[in-house]
Structure 1
């Protein structure tokens, strides 16, 4: 009798500093059944998985492991369930147990890599992604995961190489080209970015994210008219995407159209009020327009999301100052100055000091 387990793995992927979630379906784990009790546990565990009762399924598979502790597939099933429950440390340990028993199954290494990536232990994640690809070099999500952790470790050249390997595997897939374009933008290699992003648009002419990235490359090459055209294409394809609207606002600001920039920032905020980036742009609009009271409200929200962001503390201090709340302003501005100092940001320190002199 065979017990089947389906699960999902999730890894946070960096896209120009913003996180996105990629989910992939794991292959069913199968275990040979040596006795009736093990058969019962695996059948019950399989049914619990079908009903998405992850904790119950985990308990059943753990009982099964007590009976047969040498089956790598049971260990990997436990790893998948820990991943589903968000316990990535135990997930990593379970996948490593599976690998110790069977080092030739790519899915086990991929599971371990995903768990370590979610833990922020990128060296271990990179090692297991590479192991997964040595065993199965046709898994696109392993290339994506590997490139992501390479970026997190600052190895942008390695990440580009990984995306090129993915591109060779799937030459008609626009995503590796788009991701390479984003890295080139980070490096301010606008010509390289333009080339790969234009190739991506030919493969996927209705993907809004490509056009917003293309607009940044064109702007970097001093072609604002082309950038504006690409930007408008991006918004028309995905008018309710806050990230696209934020990019639009940034580009309009560079083009000197503050009204259009603010319109896009405000729309992004309306669509996603729980994003530090949208709050960053929107609170600046409020301060520019003299609405210090509302700015105070949303800056507190922003600081709940990013309590060590010195820009938010500085802006909150300025909002308090505009309202005549000097003790609160002093506290926020001192905190901003401290955080800027810790970051080695002399310009930020000067701004905080200038604001403190107004008290």
Structure 2
């Protein structure tokens, strides 16, 4: 999906003294930003190449946005190399490191991604996105305890439905359905109308043979999203079971 670029970056410390490069970056960064947010990607890339040529490749923001565009177009390996180049120019920019980690994750290089997120954590502040993405990496590596810890840590910084969904998934994969339900119920305190969450709780109750509870949650979900096929099928199966029993 579309990603908003960060606010135009401050130049790396080693570039600030190089007045000419700084002036070139200032000249083009606002234009690159504008074309990117307007989703005029081809024109944006032309401006980026001009900025890179004039700055002799020392334009961090231009490289960063070029990497975002490459990734959107499915060129993950190229985007990784560009994010790494941006990181070389400014090693202490957390945005760069997070994107290197994200690209490694998308390439299935989960252990390498975790190392990058650890580095980002070491030099930056507590960040929800870093903890959440580390959790995703651990989940793929089937390191469930580490995954759960990372997701809990992410939620302690900032609560997100997506983190609760993944944390519940960790417990579901270990067949600890009760704990998974507890996680989702906590999430529903903050997002009581989330149909995906309501359906997931309903399906877990169904697995535990608690049909009445399951039907409650599935019915509630359908009031918010009446066309979800998964919810309709599950609710229908409960109705069918009861009809058969009658």
- Regarding TM over 0.5, the answer is yes
The CA distance in 2 between the partners of 1:24 and 1:60, in whole Å, is: 19
2:5 is matched with 26
- Say whether the 8 Å CA contact 1:78–1:94 is kept in structure 2: yes
After TM superposition, give the deviation of residue 198 of structure 1 in Å: 1.7
1:105 equivalent among 89, 93, 99: 93
After TM superposition, give the deviation of residue 180 of structure 1 in Å: 1.4
Whether 1:120 aligns to 2:115 is: no
After TM superposition, give the deviation of residue 74 of structure 1 in Å: 3.4
Query: Which one has a bigger Cα radius of gyration?
Result: 1
Structure 2 matches for 1:1-359, cutoff 5 A? 10=1, 25-30=4-9, 31=11, 34=20, 41-42=28-29, 44-68=31-55, 69-170=57-158, 173-241=160-228, 245-250=229-234, 252-253=236-237, 255=238, 257=240
Structure ranking higher in helix proportion: 2
Deviations 1:206-257 (A, max 9, x none): 111121111122223331111111111111121133xxx314424644x472
Structure ranking higher in strand proportion: 1
After TM superposition, give the deviation of residue 154 of structure 1 in Å: 2.2
Structure 1 stretch displaced more, 47-56 or 31-40: 31-40
- Say whether the 8 Å CA contact 1:57–1:81 is kept in structure 2: no
After TM superposition, give the deviation of residue 43 of structure 1 in Å: 5.4
Deviations 1:123-159 (A, max 9, x none): 3333333333333444333333222232222222222
Match of 1:240, SS state, is coil
- With CA pairs under 8 Å and 6+ residues apart, which has the higher RCO, 1 or 2? 2
1:287 is matched with none
- Say whether the 8 Å CA contact 2:25–2:59 is kept in structure 1: no
Match of 1:257, SS state, is helix
Match of 1:49, SS state, is helix
